[in-house]
Every structure is written in structure tokens, then in C-alpha cells.
């Protein structure tokens, strides 16, 4: 069964203090790995899709990277508005649509 | 387009009652997904529709749960004989066909509380 493990579960950063969130995964053939942002009481917001090891994607202060076993979400010089829960998810190959999510990393950026 | 919408946003019901939730996807999206999310957990996949066809169902979707997408547009999720363990946020997502099909756009969710 597909598994996604995210660490740390919670992270507190000072504004401007860069860091990385980790997502380790086990899947029977990776079709795609996804990063989402979720604010309290809202649905997840799509950030990135990564398809193969070595791939990188960037959006503003966020950069996602992928290896064969894990993905990292690097946050450069975060701002308080980056505070949210960041979710990682995987979709297996084989034509299935089921996506398995991790429990997320709750990020708090302090001014 | 205003994105995925869900109705109601909140529902409080007594154990044993039936509830129905509605999801309106982004208009040009033919793929629709239902998820359940409990506090401190990530979303759990429940079911997937392509147009009006229900193509995947999770083992989490017990006999008390049923989902429909009768005309390939909006979808409903019904829970019969609700139990306290059904209390959760029910999320709907949609995605287009083609190259961007992996990008799922989520609605705001329906928070269900079973008393």
C-alpha cells in the first residue's frame, strides 16, 4: 500500500529563516508527487506536481525537489503569510486516480 | 470561474440520520474526486468520477456511503445512518483532462458533525 511520511509535523521559523520540509514516500511506481498548501478551515491549494527524480519546480519562495525516495519543499526567506499546513501526496502508476496524502507539516512563520 | 463549490459548508446531524452533500466542480473539469479529512490528518481518497462514471472507490467507502454524478456535472455524496466516526471534513476536488489532469482543485469542504 502507498505510504507518505512527512517531517517535521510542525515547524516554527522566524521571518527570513529558510528551511526545508521532507516527504518520504513508498509507492508502486510513481506517476506523480504533489505538494499542496492548506490554510485552516479551507481546502488544499495545489502548488506543484513532480514526475521524476531530479525534477525541480519553483514558485515564489517555494522550491520543490524530487528523488527516488523523497521530496523536499524548500522555503527561502519565509514571510508570515507562508504560515499554513503543507501536504505531500503521491499517485501511483497504472492508471489509478487514487492519491495518498501525508499528514502534513504545519508551518508557522513568526514576524 | 469561481472554482469548486460545496454545499452546505457545515452540517450538524444526530446519529442515525442521513445527510447529503453537494459539489459543483469547475465547469470544464470532467474529473471529480471526494475525500474525507479528519483533524490533524491529510485527506483520504473516497471515490473518483470521470464524467458520470464512478471509476474508483476506496475501501473506506462503506455501504452507508454512496456518491453520484448523474449528468457529469455536479456530484452528491450521501451518508446513511450516520455514526459519530463520520464526523470529518468532506472535500471535493476536480481536475481537467489532458496534461493538467494531475492538478486537483479543491473546494472549501463540508464540515460534518455527528452528535
List, for residues B27-57, the tens digit of each pLDDT value: 989 999 999 999 999 999 999 999 999 998 9
pLDDT of res. A28? 85
**Spatial CB neighbours of B114, under 8 Å, sequence gap ≥ 6:** B13, B14, B15, B82, B83, B84, B85, B86, B87
Give ∠ CA A58-B96-B79 in degrees, rounded to 5: 110
Q: How confident is the model at residue B100 (pLDDT cuts 50, 70, 90)?
A: low
Contact A99 B108 (CB under 8 A): no
**The cell 462514471 sits on which residue?**
B53
Higher pLDDT, B58 or B81: B81
Cα separation, B90 vs A40, in Å, equals: 14
| Portion of chain B with pLDDT greater than 70, in percent | 97
Looking at CA atoms only, how far is residue B75 from chain A in angstroms? 17
Instruction: Please tell me the distance from the alpha carbon of residue B62 to that of residue A47, in angstroms, as a whole number.
Output: 31
Contacts of B54 in chain A (CB under 8 A): none
pLDDT in 10s for each residue of chain A, 111 residues:
889 999 999 999 999 999 999 999 998 888 899 999 999 999 999 999 999 999 999 999 999 999 999 999 999 999 999 999 999 999 988 777 889 999 999 999 999
Q: How far does B13 lie from chain A, in Å, by closest CA?
A: 19
Q: Residue B102: pLDDT band by 50, 70, 90 thresholds?
A: confident
Higher pLDDT, B106 or A94: B106
Rounded Cα distance, A42 and A105, in Å: 16
- B56, B105, B106 ranked by CB distance to A98: nearest: B56
- Comparing CA positions, the residue from B24, B106, B29, B112 lying closest to residue B65 is B112
Task: Give the angle subtended at the CA of A104 by the CAs of B114 and B42, to the nearest 5°.
Answer: 35
Amino acid at each position: 500500500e502507498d505510504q507518505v511520511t512527512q517531517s517535521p509535523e510542525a515547524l516554527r521559523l522566524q521571518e527570513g529563516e529558510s528551511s526545508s520540509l521532507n516527504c518520504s514516500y513508498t509507492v508502486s511506481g510513481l506517476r506523480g508527487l504533489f505538494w499542496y498548501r492548506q490554510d485552516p478551515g479551507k481546502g488544499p491549494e495545489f502548488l506543484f506536481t513532480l514526475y521524476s527524480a531530479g525534477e525541480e519546480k519553483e514558485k515564489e519562495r517555494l522550491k520543490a525537489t524530487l528523488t527516488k525516495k523523497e521530496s523536499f519543499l524548500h522555503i527561502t526567506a519565509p514571510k508570515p503569510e507562508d504560515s499554513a499546513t503543507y501536504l505531500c501526496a503521491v499517485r501511483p502508476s497504472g492508471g489509478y486516480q487514487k492519491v495518498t496524502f501525508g499528514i502534513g507539516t504545519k508551518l508557522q512563520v513568526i514576524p | 470561474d469561481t472554482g469548486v463549490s460545496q454545499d452546505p459548508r457545515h452540517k450538524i446531524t444526530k446519529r442515525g440520520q442521513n445527510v447529503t452533500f453537494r459539489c459543483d466542480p469547475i465547469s470544464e473539469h470532467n474529473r471529480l474526486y471526494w475525500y474525507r479529512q479528519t483533524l490533524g490528518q491529510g485527506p483520504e481518497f473516497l471515490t473518483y468520477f470521470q464524467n458520470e462514471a464512478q471509476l474508483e472507490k476506496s475501501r473506506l467507502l462503506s455501504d452507508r456511503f454512496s456518491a453520484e454524478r448523474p449528468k457529469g456535472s455536479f456530484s452528491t455524496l450521501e451518508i446513511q445512518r450516520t455514526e459519530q466516526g463520520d464526523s470529518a471534513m468532506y472535500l471535493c476536488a476536480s481536475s481537467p483532462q489532458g496534461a493538467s489532469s494531475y492538478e486537483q482543485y479543491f473546494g472549501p469542504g463540508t464540515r460534518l458533525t455527528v452528535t
